[in-house]
Amino acid sequence: VLVIDPARLTAPLRYEAMKPGGEEFPHLYGPLPVDAVVEVRRLDDWHHDRREEDESQ
């Protein structure tokens, strides 16, 4: 999972849902500059963090 610094993007970033009222996700409309990537996480670690966030809500 790439962690991106939105301030370093040169293309438009929009948060959109798959369906009206659904959860919104970021969509980048253009190239991803390498210097905008500030961290790389293992997918397993990211899933673990997401589960902990869901449980605390």
pLDDT band with cut points at 50, 70 and 90 for residue 56: low
pLDDT at residue 45 in the model: 74
Q: What are the domain boundaries of the chain?
A: 2-56
Whether the full predicted model's pTM is greater than 0.75, yes or no, is: no
pLDDT at residue 49 in the model: 62
d(CA 20, CA 18): 7
With beta carbons less than 8 A apart as the criterion, state whether 11 and 26 touch: no
Task: Write out pLDDT tens, residues 10-43.
Answer: 999 999 999 999 999 999 999 999 999 999 998 8
